[in-house]
Structure formats: C-alpha cells, structure tokens
Amino acid sequence: AQLHSLAVAAGKLYFGSATDNGEITDTAYRAILDNADEFGQITPGNGQKWQFTEPTQGQFSYTSGDAIASLAKENNQLLRCHTLVWHSQLPSWVSGGSWTEAELTSIIETHISNVVGHYKGACYSWDVVNEALNEDGTLRDSIFSQVLGSSFIGIAFHAAGQADPDALLYYNDYNLEWTGSKSKAVINTVIPAIKAAGAEIDGVGCQAHLIVGSVPSRADMAATLQSYIDAGAAEVAYTELDIRFSSLPPTDDGLKTQGDAYADVVGACLDVEECVGITIWDYTDKYSWIPSVFPGSGAALLYDENLEKKPAWTSVSSIL
C-alpha cells in the first residue's frame, strides 16, 4: 500500500509532499506526485510566498501559487497553503521600508486579505506566521518585529481568520520538534499573543528539517507535540519533513539509520491523536532544497535522485 492510504488507515488525515513550479513539467516525477494514494496532500514550496504573490505593493500575482493549487485539486489532494508573514523571501519594498505601526499593519492586512481571499475555500490550512522565533525563544529580528514587536503575530492571525474562516490557521517553525527554549516560546509567547489579540490559532506546524544522527526520540517528539495541544492548539503536524545527511554519499548503514529516524518522526505523529499529518519537503532527492542551502548535505528524502524508493520509504510504510 502507499503512504497516504496507510496514514489514513492509521487514523491520520494525510501524508503529503511539497512541490514546486519548476519541476511539475517532469513527467516521471509527476507520475508519483499525482498519485493521491501516495501523497494525499500538497504544499507549494514557493509559489504562495510574499515575493511571488505581492512583488510590488498592491500588485498581486497568483500564477505560481495557482499552478500548484490546481494540480492538487485535479489530483484530489488536500492543500496546505504556505506562507503569509515570513522574514524571508519578502520583497524589498516590505523589508526595506521605514513604516509606522499603522502603515505596516495595513500592509500585512492588505496582503493577507488579498492572498487568503484569492485562495478562499482551497486551503485546508494556512501557515499564517512562519519562523518568528530565535533559537533562544526571543522574537526574531525582522521588519515585522522591529515595527510592531510581537503584535504582528496577532494581527496576521486575525486578518487570516477574517479572510477565510474555514482555513485552519497555523504557526509554523523549525526546531519545534523537541522541548527547549523555542518550543516553550510557542507555548508561552506565540499562542498567548494570538489569543490576546482576539484571534484564534488552530495548529502548530513543526517543520522538521532534521539531521541523520541528531533526531530526538519518538517519545520526546510525541511529548513535544502533545505540549502544543495542552497549550491550546487544536492540532499539530509535521509540515516540512526531511532528514539530511551532513556528509555524502550515505552508506548503507546510514540509509538504515535515516529510515529509523523517519519512523520515529512518523511514529511520534501516530502517538498523538491531534497530529493530523505529515508533509515531506518534496519527495525526491532530485528536487530537495537541502544541497543549495546546506552545501555538502543532502539525500534527505524518501526517494532518491532517480525516483527510486529508499530504505526510508520502506521504514515509513512499515510504521504506518
């Protein structure tokens, strides 16, 4: 059986993959991506980010995002929409402006009402705010935090909820898979800030960009997922899972270790009822973002560069 079907049989909502505009013309790649029994959910890897959706103030472009949204719709796959307010891939007209609080609030609200409005009804969820925290749990420096402090988070969630009341609203970040300063800040800062703004948070997304050899135990990861539920999130998910090797090529033993690590992450989601699903950040090493951002690292996904299943695929399918 295939991964999404197995995940559904195990009580989850989906097992999915990110994809991106440059690769969706690859027919061999599409033959696997389009199989909704394998991937029941899709996330656009880039196309809905601010730099693409509002490259110039007030001029909205949905070409890239729409291509992925229609692919998911044709395939009967859920769409996780990604992302609205993020310090990265932000056009310089936003990051380089000298805004008053009122101006930047209005810029955020206008961006969100347009983009979320455009995709209204199509998104299972939105990653409303992405990566707002430093590793020590303090607020990351960005144009948003400089001008608005932590209030930009509530502003964004409020605007997203207004624009599509049916999409589930997520806070999404990396290194939230284990308990530490960053995960505690989600519980003690992010969730309370959203509630204090009179807005709602539905989910916490743990990106799960992990490294072979440094993956926490299944029990630790499950307990951390549960801590977000206990803090008031209705659900959690692994939203961008990949587990990279920091030196290449992997050995056979390494590939087995990677498979065990994948099983632990998927297992942690199985252990927490409110963990709705798992998204890998593309499914094949052929199109992984890892080598370009972490030079010398890679081989992080379930299929190799030739679109062949790796030991980690078998490991995930066995645990599901």
Distance CA 175, CA 238 (A): 11
* In the complex, minimum distance from the CB of residue 97 to ligand XIL, in angstroms, rounded to a whole number: 22
**Of 40, 45, 154, 298, which one interacts with ligand XIL (CB under 6 A)?**
45
CB of residue 240 to ligand XIL, shortest distance in Å: 6
Whose Cβ is closer to ligand XIL: residue 123's or residue 319's?
123
Contacts (CB under 6 A) with ligand XIL, residues 237-266:
240
Toward ligand XIL, which CB reaches closer, 267 or 287? 287
What end-to-end distance do the CA atoms of the chain give, in Å? 10
Q: How far is the CB of 170 from ligand XIL (least distance, A)?
A: 11
Three-class SS of 176-231: CCCCCHHHHHHHHHHHHHHHHCCCCCCEEEECCEEECCCCCCHHHHHHHHHHHHHC
DSSP 3-state of 82: strand
**Does 17 contact ligand XIL by CB under 6 A?**
no
The helix-helix angle for 311-319 and 252-271 (nearest 10°) equals: 30
CA atoms within 13 A on the CB side of 234: 7
Conformation bin of residue 208: beta by default, left when phi > 0, alpha when psi is -120 to 50: left
Which of 46, 224, 227, 317 is close enough to bind ligand XIL by CB under 6 A? 46
- Per CB under 6 A, does 77 bind ligand XIL? no
User: Shortest Cβ distance from residue 83 to ligand XIL (Å)?
Assistant: 6
Give yes or no: 240 in active site. yes
Residue ranges in 119-158 that form contacts with ligand XIL under rule CB under 6 A: 130
- Residue 273 is among the residues annotated as catalytic for this protein: no
Phi then psi dihedrals of residue 187, to 5 deg: -75, -40
Residue of 38, 54, 131, 235 marked catalytic: 131
Using rule CB under 6 A, residue 289 touches ligand XIL: yes
State which of positions 203-232 bind ligand XIL (CB under 6 A). Answer: 207
Helix (H, G, I), strand (E, B) or coil at 10: coil
Nearer to ligand XIL, 235 or 240 (CB): 240
Number of amino acids touching ligand XIL (CB under 6 A): 6
Determine how many CB atoms are found less than 10 A away from the CB of residue 231: 17
- Residue 201 · residue 166 · CB < 8 Å: no
| Shortest distance in whole angstroms from residue 9 CB to ligand XIL | 29
Beta bridge partners of 244: 211
**Which residues bind to ligand XIL, rule: CB under 6 A?**
45-46, 130, 207, 240, 289
Q: Among all residues, which ones are annotated catalytic?
A: 131, 240
